[in-house]
Amino acid sequence: MKTLTNRIQKMKITESAFNAVVNYMGSRPAETGGALFGYEQDNVIRQFVPDEDAKTTRSSYSLNTKYLNPIIKKYWEEYKMSLEGIIHSHPIGHSHLSKPDRDYFEDLLQGMPREKFFTPILHTIPDGGFRIFPYVYIKGNNAPMPAQLEIVPDDYKEEQEAPIKKVEVQPKDERSDKETSNTYFFVVNPKAKKASPLPKSVSVLSFIVLSIALIYSLVFFGTFYLLPIFIESILKFIAL
């Protein structure tokens, strides 16, 4: 029997979820992203939620966790849907997960046990053409694996016990009052690295050294150059 790590992996996504990705991300230049939701029973992606206020540049994407975490909580408590993956776009020519991408997902998955977690990369129409490059992390394997994209009907069932129902995202400022469950997991920002104090220290030290050097130069110049000239001028005036 083949194991999860030695057979071709598939990233199954419903038609409506795929169309939501195309409509939101496909029309925007890199870097944009969003969250992918589904049932853990079959790992089919059934819902896409745009990460609307993420911090992005033309070469970087950082999740807006304050926005996504309440949505993750809502999807679990109300629909029993789990976070199945994170999708984001790269500029044309960059179809693989970057080193910061891999570091982030590996750190994230240490506290989020999943049989599968999808991390697809997207190229968008404004950047030259729409294309998806599916990747998946398999439990017990720290390296992302390429996967095959498979678009399935919205009512697709594969040993699915949870009810399939269409869900709508509430406004981003809505918060649930229900008790927090231990069976869902938040996305979190990577641990912030403390900024090195070296540049500031070097700047202060440089200022002190330059100030001392300037004072010394003025004293040296005044003592050995200007002072003799001044004395000579006084003597000439007296001689007159």
Q: What is the 3-state secondary structure (H, E, C) of 160-208?
A: CCCCCCCCCCCCCCCCCCCCCCCCCCCCCCCCCCCCCCHHHHHHHHHHH
- Contact present, 159 and 42 (Cβ < 8 Å): yes
pLDDT for 208 equals: 72
170-206 residue pLDDT tens: 444 443 333 333 345 566 554 434 333 334 444 555 6
Scanning the structure block, which residue is given the tokens 């304050």?
66
Q: Residue length, the chain?
A: 240
pLDDT for 226 equals: 65
Alpha helices in the chain (DSSP H): 15-25, 65-79, 99-110, 198-221, 227-239
Q: Which residues contact 133 (CB under 8 A, 6 or more apart)?
A: 95, 96, 120, 121, 122, 123, 146
Nearest to 5 by CA among 115, 101, 86: 115
Q: How is residue 224 written in tokens? A: 């050995």
For the chain, 240 residues long, give each residue's pLDDT as a single digit of tens.
Answer: 445 556 789 999 999 999 999 999 999 998 889 999 999 999 999 999 999 877 777 667 788 889 999 999 999 999 999 999 999 999 999 999 999 999 989 988 888 878 999 999 999 999 999 999 999 999 888 899 999 999 999 999 865 444 444 445 444 444 333 333 334 556 655 443 433 333 444 455 566 767 777 777 766 666 666 667 766 776 666 766
Other Cβ atoms less than 10 A from the Cβ of 107: the count is 14
Nearest to 16 by CA among 152, 136, 160, 172: 152
Q: Which residues contact 189 (CB under 8 A, 6 or more apart)?
A: 62, 63, 65
The domains of the chain are located at 4-152, 195-240
pLDDT for 181 equals: 35
CATH class of 4-152: alpha beta
